[in-house]
Structure formats: C-alpha cells, structure tokens
Amino acid sequence: MVLESNHIKGFRKVLYEFLSSKMRGSLISEDVRKTTLINIFAFCSHFYLLFYSYRMMLLDEIHLSYIYLLCVSAIVALQIYLRVKRNVLLVSHLMVAGFMCLELYFLFRNGSTLLTVKSYYIFPGIYWYYVFPLFSLFLLGRRAGTVYNVFLISVTVGFYLIDTPLNKLYDNEFIIRLLSVYSSLFFFAYFFEANRSATFKAFQKLQDKNIEYSKKIMDKNKDLRRKNKDLQMLTEEVRVQMEYHKDLNVMLEVKNEKILSQNKLLESQSIELSKQRDQLLIHKQNITDSILYASHIQKALLPSEDILRVVFSDYFIFYEPRDIIGGDFYYVKKIDNTLVLAVADCTGHGVPGALLSMLGISYLNEIIHTKELSETNTILNEMRDKIKLALHQSNQIREAKDGMDMALIAIDLERMVLKYSGANNPIYIIRNSELIELKADRMPIGIHLREKPYFSNLEFQLQKDDCIYLFTDGYSDQISKETMRKFSVRSFQKLLTSISNLSMNKQRDELDRAIEDWRKNADQTDDILIVGVRV
C-alpha cells in the first residue's frame, strides 16, 4: 500500500509539472492556473482536431483535414513557446484569438441543419462557440475576455444579418438558439470569473498579511538569538578571565534559561493570536454574509413601486438604511378605488429593527387582505393589538418598549379624499407652496405609558397638484459633523416647501444632496425613509 501510494504521488507530481510547464508556485498563482488551463485545453483540442482531421479525410474534405492539422501544429508550437518563454499573457491572447478565428472560419461556411451534406462542420465549428466564453474569460479575465466575446458575437450577428436574406445558411430558430445559449454561457462565465477574482484578491491580501507577520516574528526571533549568543560569549569570557565569579555565571545562565522560556512563550502566544484572528475574520464574514442575505429578504418583502406608478405619475421613494438592513419600511396596497400607503419606523436599527419591520409588513398584509379594513385608525388599532400580543406586552412599566411609529393614509381615488391616522408620525401636504401638517397621536404602535384606547382618524380633501409626504424621523435627526446638531424638523419643512414645485424625481435628488452636504462625512444617525407623491 505504501509503494502504491508513492507511485500515485509520483504520477501526480509528473502530471502537475507537465500541465503547469514547470512554472513555480501552486494553482493559487494566476500564471500557474492559466498555464494549466491552457495545457488542458490544448490536449483536449489535440484529441478533437485529430479526430475531425481523420474524419475529414474519410469524407474527402482534404483541405479541412489540413486546416485541423495546421491548428494542432499551431497549438503545439504555442505550448513549446509557453514552456520555454513562460509568457502566459501572450500565449493566452494567441490561443483565444486563434480559437476565435477558427470559429469564424467555420461560421462563414456552415449551415444550420444536421441533415445537410456539410453537417459535420457543425461539431468542430458552431458548437465550439459554447466553449469560447468560458475559455476566454478564465484565461484573460473579464475586461479582455469581454472584448473578444463582444467582437466574436458582433461579427457573428453581422454575418447572420447579411447571410439570412441572401444564402439562408442559418435559419432563425438556429440563430436564436445559438445566441441565447452563447449569451447564457457568457454571463455565467463573466460572473463566475468576477466572483473568483474577488475571492482570490481577498485571499491574496490575507496571504500578504500572514507573510508580513511571519517575517516580523522571524526578525524578532533572529534578534533574540543574536542577543542570546552575545550573552553566552560574554558569560564565557567572564568565566575564563574571572574564575572567582562562578556564582555570577550561574546566575546569568539561569537568566538565559528564563529568556529562552519567555521567547518560547511569546512564540506560542503569537501563534495563538494568529489563530484567534483568523477565527474572528471567519466569524465576521459569516455574520456579514447572513446580514446581506437578510437584506435581500427584507427588500423582497417591500411592495413593488408599480402600484404607485399606476396611480401617480409623479412620485419618489427615498430609502437609505443606516446599516445593511434597517428598521424603516413602507407599504403600498390598492383595494378597489382606495390606495393604502404607510411609512413606519421600528424600534432600533440593523437586525432588531429589520425583524420588527418584517413583522409589521406581515401584519399589515394580514389586516388589509384578510379582514379588508380600510379605516386608517382601525388598521392602526389592530396593528397595535397584534404587536403587543406578538411581543408579549401587557402594559407593565418594566417591559421593553419595542414597537413602531407609523403614518398611514387611505386615499379615495374617486372622491380624492385622504384619510390619515398616525402613531407619532405626522404627514405633510404642500399646496401652493404652503405646508399643511396632519398631526399624529403621541403614542406608538406598541406598549405606552399614556396609551389612548383608539387612534384618531383625520380626513382631508385633496386638490390637483397637492404634494403628500410620509416620512420617518431619520432625516430630521441626522447629526452634522461640523456643528454636532440635528438637521431639525423645521429645516426639513422649509426644504420640502422650497422644492415642492420641482418634479418628484428632482425633489428626491435635492433631498439626497441636502442631507449629504449637512452631515459632511459623519456617520448616518438613523434609517432614512421619505415617500412623496403628487396628486
């Protein structure tokens, strides 16, 4: 068994050196990886090209047989050049360019059906299109590989456009099938290479740090060994010159032993710290990946903007979570001739806020879809009961005050009447550059010390060109890095009034610019959410 294992290891070593052209490094190295890929592709190409060369001879297509043999010779020459000069980039470009030229050659003389006399061209010619995106992107990277792919597909499409009305070599079904499969393979290879490249860069950065730390440790060990050697020489000299100092020499030896033990302890501690650092990096990456996935789930739960787009031609949604995931959310639903729109701010940021926001969206869907409630205060009353029940709140002062602030409106699209109820969140209506505030009840959706039995319900008659704004407190609470003061509600009201005559898209841009100018590279204080519509 040991002898057999040694034979297998020897065979693997010879195979690896042959495929990598004896380039230094492992497959982690880009040059070694590309060289191995070139050689594997070359040997696969030798097999298929020699097979089709022999087949062409049997079919009396001597010139095609010579072309295949010429391609084999060219690939062998490139392999020899790569082994001698080790110019991976040049060989990669030549291989990809030659591969592309061979495909174009067969493109210009092929047909699309397998029933024609020339059907044997399809296999070495057209079907090789499916290999080209993977080969070119893995060898040359996304930028250069994309250039070759764009050139190849552009020439192919141009040839189809010219050939289809004239010679009919390719029917439309074949063209569509080829282009769709080619595009799918290209995008797969592109994103795979992008992901591989990002992973490799991150790995390389960690490797560089490990090398740097190892070098520092080696330098320290070398310096300590030099010091130990100096101490030993000094001890020996003292012992020879002054024999009566033997006791002192013994003490020095004891100290040397302590230093050596301390050095070993430092080395073991350094190794342990490195292991702990690596574990922390892994844990951090796992947590980040989980939060990113939660962000995708949260975005999927948010309603589509298509509902607003159908009802209002002019609107915007300005949504900027403080972290990857946030506690602010919006809700849109059209029931018959009534549009329900809500904006909510859940307790906390990040993961806790996001969990509450998902709970809020779920309960809104349940209340509006299942119970078909359209009165805004009834919806908020029902929401409060469900939140308190879900969070096990029973009006005890010591309990956590988790919940959410919400502004909820229902617009009768026939009578243009707006109904509003709010839990700590007012709404603004701007008419003819005049701001009208519909105030909210001063209690959240959740447990509250001074809780009222029911939320209020306000009605407002809308007019054409009225601008309605629903928002959370994240925008007005943003801290400036220069003044360390909040943006303030009054400044927010003035800003909305000053930009109300602009289109909603431009209003969103102005809101974004104003808050960026205000905070001056300061950290975002809270999640920001503003929804604006023009009647």
pLDDT single digits (tens) 469-488: 999 999 999 999 888 899 99
pLDDT single digits (tens) 77-88: 888 887 877 788
Q: What CA–CA distance (Å, rounded) separates 317 from 349?
A: 19
Greater model confidence, 464 or 153: 464
Q: What CA–CA distance (Å, rounded) separates 86 from 29?
A: 14
Instruction: Write down the residue that tokens 């002019």 correspond to.
Output: 314
- Bridge partners (DSSP) listed for residue 427: 438, 470
**pLDDT tier at 290, thresholds 50, 70, 90:** low
Q: What CA–CA distance (Å, rounded) separates 153 from 159?
A: 10
Annotate 454-467 with three-state secondary structure.
Answer: CCCCEEEECCCCCE
pLDDT at 15: 61
**pLDDT tier at 399, thresholds 50, 70, 90:** low
State both tokens at 266: 């430092």
- Sign of the dihedral through C-alpha 383, 389, 393, 394: positive
pLDDT of 428 above 90:
yes
pLDDT of 510 above 70:
yes
159, 107 contact by CB (below 8 A) = yes
Candidate from 243-247, 402-406, 486-490 with smallest mean pLDDT: 243-247
Q: In the chain, what are the helix, strand and coil shares in percent, each to the nearest 5?
A: 60, 15, 25
Q: What CA–CA distance (Å, rounded) separates 504 from 467?
A: 9
Question: In sequence order, what DSSP letters do the residues of 368-394 get, joined into one string?
Answer: IIIS----HHHHHHHHHHHHHHHTT--
Q: What CA–CA distance (Å, rounded) separates 304 from 361?
A: 13
533, 466 contact by CB (below 8 A) = no
Which residues does 369 contact at the CB level (< 8 Å), separation at least 6?
A: 333
pLDDT of 110 above 80:
no
pLDDT at 515: 95
Q: What CA–CA distance (Å, rounded) separates 419 from 427?
A: 11
Instruction: Write down the residue that tokens 């306000």 correspond to.
Output: 458
Mean pLDDT of 492-500: 96
Helix (H) or strand (E) holding 406: strand 403-412
pLDDT at 118: 44
pLDDT of 124 above 80:
no
The pTM is what? Answer: 0.51
